[in-house]
C-alpha cells in the first residue's frame, strides 16, 4: 500500500484533511492515532502542520471552515481539556504541539464546552 505523498501535497501549498473515515477501512476511529501515525511515518512534517490538518483541514474538507477548525471572531469555539503525562515536560508551545501530535490519545480528555479554560 505505501504511505500518502504528504510532502508532495504540502509542497503544492495544500493542507490536506486528516481524519478518520469508517471502520470499513480502519478499525481505529481516533484522530489522535491518525496524528501520531502521520508524525511517525513523516517525521519531517512540522507538527503544527499536522495539527492544522486535523483541525482546519478537516473543517475545509467538510465545507465548514467559516465556523469550525480555527479560532476567529464569529467562529464556533468548543473546547476540550487534554492531559497526558507525556505533555508535562514540554518547555514551549512548539514542543507541546509536537507531543500532542505524536503521543497518541491523551490520558484524559474532558469536554469543556464553549469558551471555558482548563
- Cell numbers standing for residue 91: 518547555
Q: How far apart are CA 65 and CA 50, in angstroms?
A: 17
Query: Model pTM?
Result: 0.85
Is residue 53 in some structural domain? yes
Residue 103 scores a pLDDT above 70: yes
How many Å apart are CA 118 and CA 78, to the nearest integer?
Answer: 12
Instruction: Give the count of domains, the chain.
Output: 1
**Residue 87, in any domain of the structure:** yes
Residue 7 lies in a domain: no
In a domain, 10, yes or no: no
Q: How far apart are CA 83 and CA 81, in angstroms?
A: 7
Place of cell 510532502: 7
Is residue 89 a part of any domain in this protein? yes
Give tens-digit pLDDT for 45-102.
999 999 999 999 988 998 988 878 888 777 777 788 899 999 999 999 999 999 999 9
Q: Which domain holds residue 71?
A: 27-114
Residue entry with cell 465556523: 67
Q: Span 3-8, mean pLDDT? A: 89
Is 73 among the domain residues?
A: yes
The answer to whether residue 44 sits within a structural domain is: yes
Query: How open is the CA angle 66-64-39, to the nearest 5 degrees?
Result: 105
Are 53 and 17 contacting, i.e. CB atoms less than 8 angstroms apart?
yes
Query: According to the 3-state scheme, what is the secondary structure of 35-87?
Result: HHHHHHHCCCCCHHHHHHHHCHHHHHHCCCCCCCCCCCCCCCCEEEEEECHHH
Asked if residue 4 belongs to a domain, the reply is: no
CA-to-CA separations, 45 to 6, 21, 49, 89, 101, in angstroms, rounded: 8, 22, 7, 22, 11
Amino acid at each position: 500500500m505505501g504511505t500518502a505523498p504528504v510532502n508532495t501535497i504540502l509542497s503544492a501549498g495544500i493542507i490536506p484533511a486528516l481524519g478518520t473515515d469508517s471502520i470499513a477501512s480502519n478499525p481505529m476511529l481516533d484522530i489522535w492515532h491518525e496524528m501520531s501515525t502521520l508524525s511517525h511515518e513523516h517525521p519531517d512534517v512540522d507538527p503544527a502542520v499536522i495539527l492544522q490538518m486535523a483541525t482546519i483541514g478537516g473543517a475545509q474538507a467538510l465545507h465548514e471552515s467559516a465556523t469550525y477548525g480555527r479560532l476567529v471572531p464569529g467562529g464556533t469555539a468548543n473546547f476540550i481539556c487534554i492531559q497526558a503525562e507525556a505533555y508535562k515536560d514540554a518547555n514551549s508551545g512548539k514542543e507541546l504541539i509536537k507531543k500532542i501530535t505524536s503521543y497518541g490519545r491523551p490520558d484524559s480528555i474532558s469536554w469543556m464546552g464553549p469558551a471555558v479554560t482548563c
